Amino acid sequence: MKNPNPYIHRDISWLSFNYRVLQEAKDKNVPLFEKLKFLAIYSSNLGEFYRVRVSNHKNLINAGKKTLKKVEFEPRKIVAQILKIVTKQQLEFSKIFEEDIVPSLKREGISLLRIKELNDAQSKFIDNYFYDNLIPDIQPILLKGNMVKPFLQNGALYLGVYMRSNDEKDKGKYYAIVKIPSFTKKRFIELPSKKNVSIIMLDDLVRKIIPNIFPGFKIVDSYSIKLTRDAELYIGDEYQGDLVEKIKKSLKKRDKGPTSRLVYDRTMPNHFLNYLQMVFDIQDMDLLPEGRYHNNFDFAKFPSFGKGHLKDIGIPPLSYSTLSNSTDYFGEIKKRDHLLYFPYHSYSSVIKFFEEAASDPHTTHIKIVQYRVAKNSKIMDAIIKAVKNGISVTAFIEIKARFDEAANLRWAEKLEAKGVKVIYSMPGLKVHSKLAMVRKIVDGVEEYYSYLSTGNFHEGTAKLYTDFGLFTYDKKINEEVRMVFSFLETKVRPSREFKQLAVGAFNLKEKIKELIQTEITNAKAGKKAYITLKMNSLQDNEMIDLLYTASKAGVRIKMIIRGICCLVPGVPKISENITAVSIVDKYLEHARVFIFGNNGNELVFLSSADWMVRNLHRRVETMFPVKDPVLKQFVTNIIRIQLNDNVKARVFGKKKENAYKKNDGQSIRSQYDIYYYIKSGLETV
């Protein structure tokens, strides 16, 4: 019997999330340079989406009917739906850029010029700039049908050039491609100007000099194109052979994989597009029309020209003085738990956790799980220092963290060379827990201190992602953190069950189901029952069905879901007791918080895990309780502020319309209100 419950396909829901990012670029209250930043984020997100998710669908299509029997959807239909949605979004992207961003820049004294708008001095400057800076990097290729099939570099920008011969007797059409060196050269070039600022994009600069590249031809027009490739590593059976070596070899092939999309200027004539399809073996489902420019993630590098008023007002991170200024750092943790919320709190307290441990003669061991690592990491420097001081250091490095594989491998090799015991990825599982532990021996007695977080040990993202981090001396929690590290080191499952923690690949999903079921039981008994959830993504159908069951039983469910939400709120007799919002703003909402009414004895959990199939089934994740009543109140107050957001909150509904939450009174922009809430004095939590 077919399940009657409503679901939104995860990729369609993701496109809805990315549209929320695009909405920020057209919000009249968002500063101009921040609008450019959101255009960049939208573009970067979409590129990764095509390289991962769309490529997966195309692989299923190419695999044939035998494989399709095992999937719940028709991938060809999903790809067609994705193309329809993205094409519409790209039209809106171009409209925002051409009709809002460019005129707004001009009003601020920044003119983004095209070739026809250049004066003589600027034209001469471009000619000189080309010969002085670009000529060795320009790669023109005259296409000759199937005779010449150049390899298009993944993500590189090219100009497709449509030409006619200067010989009047030759009536043929000629096509060429010219690589734009945007990976190695500045994308935005300042031009000489008597007043204000004039700039030209590298793409248009190259367009101007194309006639010099193809003498003997008349340039009819040129159109930008870009090809991106499947990002899957295809490492085969993870249980056989050396997994690290397989990943290293696969990384070398990633940028040579199958086509995930060919992005092209939508004004390109059909005869040219058809020709490119023939030359590069591009299928119709691989085509994605965009505007004049691609790789718009480069807008994140748009020069500021000293115009700071076009950016968001800075909110400097707050010092958590109880730890950051303490002369007895671990003594403070021993007294009580400490909970920080980044980036509102400074990340320096986390760095100090490792630096203090590395310098303390009582420290015997430091253990850490690394999923994504900053390029320049003070945390990594601290654990290397710890080894020099005779401390045993163990680092689990997840080298299957997508798009960070190479960086993590480099760090792993560096750490090993310095004497750190490095444990690499586990076959069949990703380790996504955010854990660290310090062991000390003081007066002959063992002491354990743990740090558990919803976010990575990454000093860069800690400035941009909202995440909770808990420092604890709690002996029961620390014992189970040790169990997790023991499993990672030995691959032997613990002999006893987790009770304090819920751990992916062990009891995480079962624990969450048990907590939801308790609320259902309480609701049916006439007791007050509620669930509040904050996460990045909700996709696991079993969990969605259980939330629907809870709603039918009368459990009040409030959700803050940043990205994918496959659940449909507000459906009569199914999810009428469920409301959901998404907050997209200055910071990326990354924390996972699960709150359960529990008949008046409220339970608060923080986690590294979203409710996606991969997190609940194929990853080692950690969910941990917030026990201290003051800290619990701190978390629930923050969630309450976010639920009341009426400036940046978008409402999920049956139509997935991404409507802004109605604002009938005082404006509440949660990310700023949370900052002032913490600044007002509760940093002592």
Instruction: Answer positive or negative: Cα dihedral of 568, 574, 575, 576.
Output: positive
Contact 114, 204 (CB under 8 A): yes
What angle (nearest 5°) sits at the alpha carbon of residue 524, between those of residues 519 and 526?
Answer: 95
Closest Cα partner for 483 from 627, 367, 383, 334? 367
Closest Cα partner for 12 from 56, 59, 53? 53
Q: How far apart are CA 92 and CA 16, in angstroms?
A: 14
Contact 10, 566 (CB under 8 A): yes
Catalytic residue among 57, 338, 345, 432: 432
Q: How far apart are CA 241 and CA 237, in angstroms?
A: 8
Q: How far apart are CA 545 and CA 549, in angstroms?
A: 6
Q: How far apart are CA 134 and CA 145, in angstroms?
A: 28
What angle (nearest 5°) sits at the alpha carbon of residue 402, between those of residues 613 and 35?
Answer: 95
CA distances from 495 to 477, 600, 620 (A): 16, 34, 17
* Cis preceding linkage at 343, omega within 30: yes
For 558, the enclosing helix (H) or strand (E) is strand 556-561
Instruction: Answer positive or negative: Cα dihedral of 631, 632, 638, 641.
Output: negative
Closest Cα partner for 83 from 290, 285, 268? 285
Contact 14, 53 (CB under 8 A): yes
What residues contact 552, with CB distance under 8 A and at least 6 apart? Answer: 573, 574, 577
Helix boundaries (H) for 7-50: 10-26, 32-49
Q: What is residue 281's DSSP assignment?
A: T
Closest Cα partner for 50 from 292, 230, 225? 230
Q: How far apart are CA 397 and CA 403, in angstroms?
A: 14
The question of whether 365 is a catalytic residue gets the answer no
Helix boundaries (H) for 240-288: 243-254, 270-280
Q: How far apart are CA 303 and CA 33, in angstroms?
A: 9
Three-state secondary-structure class, residue 376: coil
CA distances from 505 to 395, 424, 436, 490 (A): 20, 17, 19, 15
What is the side-by-side strand order in the sheet with 556-561? 502-503, 622-625, 603-607, 592-596, 530-535, 556-561, 578-583, 649-651, 659-660
Secondary structure percentages of the chain, helix, strand, coil, to 5? 40, 25, 35
Q: How far apart are CA 308 and CA 234, in angstroms?
A: 45
Beta bridge pairs of residue 414 = none
For 522, the enclosing helix (H) or strand (E) is helix 508-524
Q: Which two tokens stand for residue 399?
A: 């080298």
Q: Look at strands 578-583 and 556-561 and give their pairing.
A: parallel
Positions marked active-site: 432
